Amino acid sequence: MDQQLADLNQEVKTLTGKLKDLKTEIAKVIIGQEETVDQLLITFLAGGHALLEGVPGLAKTLMIRSLSQAIDLKFKRIQFTPDLMPSDIIGTEILEEDHTTGKKFFEFNKGPIFANIILADEINRTPPKTQAALLEAMQEFEVTYSGTTYQLERPFFILATQNPIEQSGTFPLPEAQQDRFLFYIKIGYPTEIEENQILKHTTGSKKATIKPVLTGSEILRLQELVREVPISDELISYVNKLIRATRPETSNNEFVKEWVSWGAGPRAGQALILTAKARALQQGRLAVTPEDLEHCAYPVLRHRVIVNFKAEAEGITSDEVTTGLMKSIFPAEKARNK
């Protein structure tokens, strides 16, 4: 038993070391944005999908492309435009001819969704009909076309970027589709020092080369290890309290009743526990702490707590609702689990 534990610790140490190498490779191209990269890696470890939002020019696409280059997996980029059709994503049937018999038949021509890492670039610039083409792939990891179901190769990740909805030419994602994203990551402007480095390193002739440091099988193993990371019953109870407190009908918090239209569903609790486990493993720990839950709560709840019109009029965001809930629920739980 001691030898098994020692072997497991060594495996965790080796794989988490590769995660550090992965961040080093990405840092060759992406300056700053360390928290965003960490959240993307947590998404990978938890086996989910991520939605990244930021104004144009913040290297969202470059960040995802750099991440895919550092992992030895098949990568596809789909540029979402107003005229994109569902068949442009999942594929379509084409008429073929058997040259030996002369008979004609339809054959399914797989679309770009059949890859390991999908960059759905500017996902909110295409209408809901096309956005919905991703739903089955995101939840069931399969695609159904003309009555036939095709399995997607694992690991499978959709990393979608979107511009702020206030910008022209955008279509808001339906709540049901947002809920399928494990994390909703917001990317802010770089600091003055970071922006100075960006200007310096991106306007010369030298280009960095990213080498793959992690394989698909290693990611799958990391995902297995994430689910084995223990979490105490007390912390699970805290997660349950937090998620239920986001719902106006079951919350004791007046600001939730006043500002929130729809609270988070059970999937939010599952996402919070899984991502907290992933963060613990990413840092080389085999136990979830309250800090892991606190760190992951915002990107988990950001798109699952829907504020009402009154809150929007007053400039209240879902992040502020999460902050209020953390202040009212988290301190007691944090102290209890020290």
| Structure-token match 């070391």, residue found | 17
C-alpha 280/C-alpha 11 separation (Å) is 15
| Structure-token match 């550090």, residue found | 20
Assess contact for 277 and 285: CB atoms under 8 A. Answer: no
* Residues near 150 by beta carbon (within 8 Å), at least 6 away in sequence: 108, 110, 114, 142, 143, 144
Question: Whose CA is closest to 16, among 286, 282, 288, 223?
Answer: 282
Strand partners, 107: 94
Written out in words, the top-level CATH class of the domain with range 1-86+112-206+217-228 is alpha beta
In angstroms, the Cα distances linking 130 to 41, 81, 117, 158, 160 are 27, 10, 19, 15, 14
C-alpha 227/C-alpha 216 separation (Å) is 17
The radius of gyration of the chain from alpha carbons, rounded to an integer in Å, stands at 22
Assess contact for 303 and 123: CB atoms under 8 A. Answer: no
**Predicted pLDDT of residue 301:** 95
**Predicted pLDDT of residue 250:** 85
Q: Where are the domains of the chain?
A: 1-86+112-206+217-228, 230-330
Burial class (CB in 10 A: 0-12, 13-18, 19+), 302: buried
| Structure-token match 């990891």, residue found | 141
Burial class (CB in 10 A: 0-12, 13-18, 19+), 67: buried
**Predicted pLDDT of residue 319:** 93
**Predicted pLDDT of residue 57:** 72
Question: Whose CA is closest to 184, among 304, 273, 327, 32?
Answer: 304
Please, what is the angle between helix 2-27 and helix 34-46, to 10°? Answer: 140
- How is residue 260 annotated by DSSP? E
Q: Collapsing DSSP states into helix, strand and coil, what is residue 51?
A: strand
**Predicted pLDDT of residue 311:** 87
At 102, list the tokens.
């002369």
**Predicted pLDDT of residue 331:** 56
Q: Collapsing DSSP states into helix, strand and coil, what is residue 205?
A: coil
Assess contact for 327 and 208: CB atoms under 8 A. Answer: no
Assess contact for 238 and 333: CB atoms under 8 A. Answer: yes
102-156, pLDDT tens digit by residue? Answer: 788 778 889 999 999 999 988 888 888 888 888 889 989 999 888 889 999 999 9
CATH topology of domain 230-330: Helicase, Ruva Protein; domain 3 (1.10.8)
C-alpha 51/C-alpha 187 separation (Å) is 10
User: Mean pLDDT by 10-residue block, N- to C-terminus, for the chain (338 residues)?
Assistant: 71 84 85 86 93 80 84 89 90 81 82 92 87 88 88 91 72 83 89 82 76 89 92 93 92 89 92 96 90 94 92 90 87 51
Within this chain, domains 1-86+112-206+217-228 and 230-330 share the same CATH topology = no
* Residues near 183 by beta carbon (within 8 Å), at least 6 away in sequence: 39, 42, 43, 48, 50, 51, 271, 275, 299, 300
